[in-house]
Amino acid sequence: MALLQTSRLTLRELSEDDAPLLSAVLNDPDFIRNVGDRGVRTDEDARRYIIDGPMAMYQTHNFGMYKVELADGTAIGLCGLVKRDGLDDVDIGFAFLPDYRKQGYAQEAAEAVMEYGRDVIGLERIIAIAHPDNESSIRLLEKLGLQVERTIKLPREDEELVLMAWNAGD
């Protein structure tokens, strides 16, 4: 079932069948450099990751990371809302396969997710955390209405990251 529909894209909840997509996205070198190494190597690792991560989050929070598809059903990336350990706020995240970048797909999906977070989930604040040198991500977050607030270090990590936020009323 489609969760969100935009002019070119459909967003759906992830299922165990999406293990190949997750393996491709999580092992993309840009993802590993900008977001981190999730240690997912095999389709079985990816299946477990989907069950323990996104699928568990749909149950506990009513939102999570979604699969993004073109009209012909090709899966091109991930975009959604995530509640991370160690952060009070909900954050928006996105990661697209290299062949599907620079075409505005990430922006189109992320705009739909922001609207969903605001209007359906009722969030009054949505944040994002990015590497300071992840320019395409920071540019996209600015287009979505998030502004740089401060730098942050996540638990068990030593790199300084940028915390960006959108607040209701901004």
Ligand X SMILES: CC(C)(COP(=O)(O)OP(=O)(O)OC[C@H]1O[C@@H](n2cnc3c(N)ncnc32)[C@H](O)[C@@H]1OP(=O)(O)O)[C@@H](O)C(=O)NCCC(=O)NCCS
Residues lying near ligand X in the complex (CB under 6 A): 30-31, 34-35, 94-96, 101-107, 130, 134, 136-137, 140
In the complex, least distance from residue 131 CB atom to ligand X, rounded to whole angstroms: 7
Residue closer to ligand X (CB basis): 63 or 96: 96
Listed residue (135, 142, 21) closest to 75, CA to CA: 21
Residue closer to ligand X (CB basis): 29 or 122: 29
Question: Contact at 8 Å (CB) between 13 and 50?
Answer: no
Token representation of residue 163: 């915390």
In the complex, least distance from residue 74 CB atom to ligand X, rounded to whole angstroms: 15
Helix axis angle for 135-143 and 105-115, nearest 10°, is: 50
Cα angle, residue 118 at apex, residues 92 and 88 outer, rounded to 5° = 55
Task: Name the residue whose CB lies closest to ligand X.
Answer: 104
Residue closer to ligand X (CB basis): 116 or 134: 134
Residue closer to ligand X (CB basis): 44 or 159: 159
